[in-house]
Amino acid sequence: MFTPEQRFSAAVQQCFASRAASYEHQARLQAAIAQRLARRCRPLAAELPAGPRADLGAGSGLLARALHSQLGGPTLLQLDACAPLLKQGQQRDPATPRLQWDLNQGLPHSLQGAALLASSFALQWLEQPDQQLEHWCRALRPGGCLALAVPCQGSFSLWPEAAERAGVPCTALELPAANTLLAQAEPWLELQHQSLLRFSRSNHGALPFLQEFKAIGAQASRAPQLTAGELRQLIRHWPGPESAIVWHVLVLVGRKR
């Protein structure tokens, strides 16, 4: 008998697996954030201690490749629960170490005393993201670095607003609050950089918006799927093009105290 948490984790893996082959072609925001986060880490390259380096929720390796390009040194171990996404990265770079691992189970023992733990657009899929972040901070060795990018509350607010007007459930993934994540990280890290980035783009309607999530496999939800009638109501009450679609992304880089 699976728990709701286990069922959701399995759904996340299945959704990403179904779009693994086209993920990198479609995940333009994720690729841009990976490059930005890696550049923020570059000033720390010379001071990183010895120890394991890992990309948590690596997917096909967008962040791991960007970090290795900026930092040099040992390649990052790439961890992800979705085997087809890891396989996509392996086709590009067969020599990079990879491990299929569900981060809801914590970190593998080999990452205790890590020199670098990095994660982009992965923490929001885990149960209790704030507690998982604290575990990552604990696993770093003194002087080790945490680099994180995660979408936060306030992103695409027109979705719950449209659902409320339509009188239907909002099936959007509940995202962590930036302030909560910072409160968990600050006791452990000397923050070198923190920012809440705002990205906006044109709104072309509910269906194109939802299809973009599905195109990269990011459509998993803890809520039941809308019925056909509920979806029609959502489409009917979706804001017009004058309302932009906005993402809020927390980016932080910190060194273990």
Question: How would residue 210 be classed by pLDDT, with cut points 50, 70 and 90?
Answer: very high
Locate 28 and state its tokens: 């333009």
Overall average pLDDT of the 65-80 stretch: 96
User: Is the pLDDT reported for residue 2 higher than 90?
Assistant: no
| 77 touches 52 (CB < 8 A) | yes
pLDDT band, very low/low/confident/very high, at 216 (cuts 50, 70, 90)? very high
pLDDT beyond 80 at 190: yes
pLDDT at position 163 is 97
- Report pLDDT digits (tens) over 148-179: 999 999 999 999 999 999 999 999 999 999 99
CATH fold of 4-152+177-200+249-256 reads Rossmann fold (3.40.50)
Confidence tier at 193 by pLDDT (50, 70, 90): very high
Distance CA 200, CA 246 (A): 4
Domain boundaries, the chain: 4-152+177-200+249-256
Q: What percent of the chain has pLDDT over 70?
A: 100
For 100-130, what is each residue's pLDDT tens digit?
A: 999 999 999 999 999 999 999 999 999 999 9
The pLDDT, as a whole number, for residue 20 is 96
Does residue 40 surpass a pLDDT of 80? Answer: yes
Q: What mean pLDDT is predicted for residues 190-210?
A: 95
pLDDT grade for 232, boundaries at 50, 70 and 90: very high
- Asked whether the predicted pLDDT for residue 1 surpasses 80, the reply is no
Instruction: Work out the mean pLDDT of the chain and round it to a whole number.
Output: 96
Determine the average pLDDT of the residues in 75-99.
Answer: 95
What number of other Cβ atoms are within 10 A of residue 113's Cβ?
A: 15
Q: Residue for token digits 């809308």? A: 226
Q: What percent of the chain has pLDDT over 90?
A: 97
- Using pLDDT thresholds of 50, 70 and 90, give the confidence band for residue 39: very high
Please name every residue paired with 151 in a beta bridge, in sequence order, or none if there are none: 249
DSSP at 154: T
**Alpha carbon distance 50, 113 (integer Å):** 9
* CB-based burial label for 213 (10 Å; 0-12, 13-18, 19+): middle
What value does the mean pLDDT take over residues 69-92? 95
